[in-house]
Amino acid sequence: MKTGIFICHCGHNIKHTVDVKKLSEYFRHYPNVVVSEDYVFVCSEPGQDMIRESIEKEGLDRVIIASCTPSLHGEMFKDVLKKSDLNPFLLRRVSIREHCSWIGDDVEKNTEKAKRLILAGLYSAAHYVPLEEKIVDVKKSALIVGGGVSGLSAAVFLSRMGMQVYLVEKEAELGGHVRVLKNIWPSGRDGKDIIDEMVKELEGRRNVELFTSTAISSFEGFFGNYEVTLDTPVGEKKLTAGGVIIAIGFSPFDPGTKPELNYGKDKRIITTLDFERNADALQLPENPRVAILHCIGSRDEQIGKPYCSRVCCVNALRVGDAIKNRYGDSYVESFYMDVRAHPRGGEEYFEDTQEKGVLFTRANVAEIMPMPTGVMIRGEDTLFGETFEREFDLVVLSIGMSPPADSKLIASLFKVTLDKDKFFLEAHIKLRPFDTAVKGIFIAGSCSGPKDVEESINHGRASAVKLFGFLNLGYAYVDPFIAHVDPKRCSGCRMCEQACVAKAIKYDEAQRVVHVEDAACMGCGLCNATCPSSAISLKGYIDCMIDDEISAFLEAI
């Protein structure tokens, strides 16, 4: 066996706390190792060339790359092997960055740990066999879940690129929250116009089907060919989608859950969204006194919402701006923690509203009490350290964005993960921000965290581009890590068949052994752990690989 070991410095990221030279030196003299090198960036062009040259020159039949975590650069390194005519499944990735150099500071201990991790890779890879990736057809159709601004913009892009688009919205009308927004900052366009423009384009296309008042009743199958059942007002509809974009948006924070705000008990206490919906219908006195409260349902550990909702500061500024424009002699006071006017031009807008006369008071508001003459706000001015009580004619709560009400339901339907705040979690925050951990399922818009209209449109388009790239190929590789039965060793006890979640194991009455239906196998390995003689085994994770990894961690070396 000829193994090549390539240890990455990752610039300073690994080298800083792991003695990479010592490691490459150590493994150079190891049995079965013919190349052991460390390099500044193994993922760089020269780094890849180094691997290719070693494979070709030394005739390597195993490649071990000790670098970042295996979920990064996976396909790229596999391609390096492919280009050198080496089966890509003879590659072993060892994470010595996320699981070693970044989690401890002691160079000696980290180096020792990295040595064990690489050793585990070396032992395990010794059992590797060439595997063939299966190719499956990918249906050029996309299911978009959610007809808000993000889902619509994704649909527009995909339909223009000729993909079949199925867009599902649970409400009767498309457009989500954006539909009610007026004069959207900074463009000044009404939300309805933006939505109508997109819907009109979609309605005019033959490759688009829009489903409103529709729920998804089942979702099965594998990427490239997901089987979807919709529950539409005109009955059940079955369709096949190559990929999915989840764009189910957000739920506005309900201030009713904070009793001290008295929201819903007095019509003079409203939210920014109420203000958007019927600002014109508000009945205010000649020179109204208006209070605007920031961070309602954001940056609040007590109610489990520690995050900043990003859009509410600008929303609050817009309320102040609107009041000042309409009532020149009004008294408008904003109670804030920090003003985080995120988007481009936000800071300037903040200054403009100040110039127009909106007062900004850094405060903790303790209570809002409706009185016959007005609404009393009691709180503490945190700059001067004084308590205050002031009366207003109108109180506007700048509410934050909560995760969508059905995020848990949708997440379990599509088997994707939510983050701790119950927003959808991306596969990698920087490198794969639109992907979920499930292949072919992407996320877009504020369901993955608070976003404004511009960001949601961009996010929708970006996910659509990612999905397009995936669909347009028309085929995809399937991991060959599926279960396999050795019929000579199978006792035919059918334990694996009973346990198999995917129902991929079938019993052969004549031979009295089981076999695996490749296409149905999900590759979890439950059968392997259930079989007492391991006659059924999961390719890529067979017993002796894991056994030897255990030994590598523990044996005397």
The smaller minimum CB distance to other proteins, of residues 95 and 334, is found at 95
Site residues (CB under 8 A) for other proteins, limited to 7-46: 31
Instruction: Compute the least distance from the CB of residue 27 to other proteins, in Å.
Output: 13
Beta strands in 371-414 (DSSP E): 375-381, 386-392, 394-399, 401-402
- Contacts of 136 by beta carbon, 8 Å cutoff, 6+ apart: 222, 224, 225, 475, 476, 478
The smaller minimum CB distance to other proteins, of residues 369 and 413, is found at 413
The smaller minimum CB distance to other proteins, of residues 339 and 514, is found at 514
Q: Are 379 and 363 in contact (CB under 8 A)?
A: yes
Does the protein bind other proteins through residue 419 (CB under 8 A)? yes
Instruction: Compute the least distance from the CB of residue 503 to other proteins, in Å.
Output: 11
Among 110, 272, 353, 407, binds other proteins (CB under 8 A): 110
User: Which of 142, 81, 77 shows the shortest CA–CA distance to 469?
Assistant: 142
Pick the piece of the chain touching other proteins (CB under 8 A) from 100-108, 198-206, 232-240, 387-395.
Answer: 100-108
Among 11, 59, 74, 104, binds other proteins (CB under 8 A): 104
Site residues (CB under 8 A) for other proteins, limited to 469-498: 481, 488-495, 498
Instruction: Compute the least distance from the CB of residue 104 to other proteins, in Å.
Output: 5
Instruction: Count the residues of the shown chain that bind other proteins, applying the rule CB under 8 A.
Output: 72
Does the protein bind other proteins through residue 273 (CB under 8 A)? no
**One character per residue 60-99, x = contact with other proteins (rule: CB under 8 A):** ---------xxx-----------------------x-xxx
Strand duo 375-381 + 359-370: pairing: antiparallel
Q: Are 470 and 138 in contact (CB under 8 A)?
A: yes
The structure tokens listed for 519 are 């296409």
Site residues (CB under 8 A) for other proteins, limited to 512-531: 512, 522-526, 528-530
The smaller minimum CB distance to other proteins, of residues 36 and 95, is found at 95
Q: Which amino acid is at 222?
A: F
The smaller minimum CB distance to other proteins, of residues 396 and 514, is found at 514
Among 418, 465, 519, 520, binds other proteins (CB under 8 A): 418
Sign (positive/negative) of CA torsion 315, 461, 138, 521? negative
Cα torsion through 292, 298, 301, 304, rounded to 10: 130
Does the protein bind other proteins through residue 55 (CB under 8 A)? no
Q: Which amino acid is at 315?
A: N
Pick the piece of the chain touching other proteins (CB under 8 A) from 46-54, 387-395, 397-405, 533-541.
Answer: 533-541
The structure tokens listed for 81 are 């092997």
Among 437, 462, 465, 519, binds other proteins (CB under 8 A): 437
Does the protein bind other proteins through residue 507 (CB under 8 A)? yes
Instruction: Compute the least distance from the CB of residue 134 to other proteins, in Å.
Output: 16
The structure tokens listed for 109 are 């201990």
Instruction: Compute the least distance from the CB of residue 448 to other proteins, in Å.
Output: 12
Pick the piece of the chain touching other proteins (CB under 8 A) from 102-110, 206-214, 368-376, 391-399.
Answer: 102-110
Instruction: Compute the least distance from the CB of residue 87 to other proteins, in Å.
Output: 20
Asked, as a colleague might, if the bond just before 186 is cis with ω within 30 of 0, I would say yes
Does the protein bind other proteins through residue 290 (CB under 8 A)? no
Does the protein bind other proteins through residue 534 (CB under 8 A)? yes
Does the protein bind other proteins through residue 200 (CB under 8 A)? no
Pick the piece of the chain touching other proteins (CB under 8 A) from 80-88, 231-239, 252-260, 532-540.
Answer: 532-540
Distances, alpha carbon 291 to alpha carbons 95, 366, 412, 488, in Å: 53, 14, 41, 79
The smaller minimum CB distance to other proteins, of residues 346 and 433, is found at 433
Pick the piece of the chain touching other proteins (CB under 8 A) from 73-81, 106-114, 289-297, 447-455.
Answer: 106-114
The smaller minimum CB distance to other proteins, of residues 299 and 439, is found at 439
Among 120, 167, 269, 282, binds other proteins (CB under 8 A): 120
The angle that helices 346-355 and 312-326 make with each other, rounded to 10 degrees, is 30
Q: Are 251 and 402 in contact (CB under 8 A)?
A: yes
Does the protein bind other proteins through residue 425 (CB under 8 A)? yes
Beta strands in 212-262 (DSSP E): 215-222, 225-232, 235-241, 243-246, 251-252
The smaller minimum CB distance to other proteins, of residues 157 and 423, is found at 423
Q: Hey, which residues does 313 pair with through a beta bridge?
A: none
The smaller minimum CB distance to other proteins, of residues 364 and 498, is found at 498
Q: Cα-flanking dihedrals φ and ψ of residue 194, to 5°?
A: -60, -45
Among 76, 103, 303, 473, binds other proteins (CB under 8 A): 103
251 by DSSP, 3-state: which? strand
Q: Are 157 and 464 in contact (CB under 8 A)?
A: yes
Among 257, 287, 387, 551, binds other proteins (CB under 8 A): 551
Whole-angstrom distance, CA of residue 185 vs CA of residue 343 = 10
The structure tokens listed for 543 are 């017993």
Site residues (CB under 8 A) for other proteins, limited to 394-413: 412
Which helix (H) or strand (E) element contains residue 190? Answer: none
Taking the CA of residue 124 as centre, how many other CA atoms within 13 Å lie in the half-sphere pointing to its CB?
24
**Taking the mean position of all CA atoms in its chain, how far away is CA 375?**
42
Pick the piece of the chain touching other proteins (CB under 8 A) from 116-124, 156-164, 326-334, 342-350.
Answer: 116-124
Cα torsion through 76, 477, 416, 523, rounded to 10: -110
Does the protein bind other proteins through residue 557 (CB under 8 A)? yes
Q: Which amino acid is at 314?
A: V
Instruction: Compute the least distance from the CB of residue 554 to other proteins, in Å.
Output: 4
Q: Within 126-208, where are the H helices?
A: 149-160, 191-203
The smaller minimum CB distance to other proteins, of residues 270 and 545, is found at 545
Distances, alpha carbon 128 to alpha carbons 82, 91, 342, 399, 545, in Å: 16, 9, 50, 55, 8
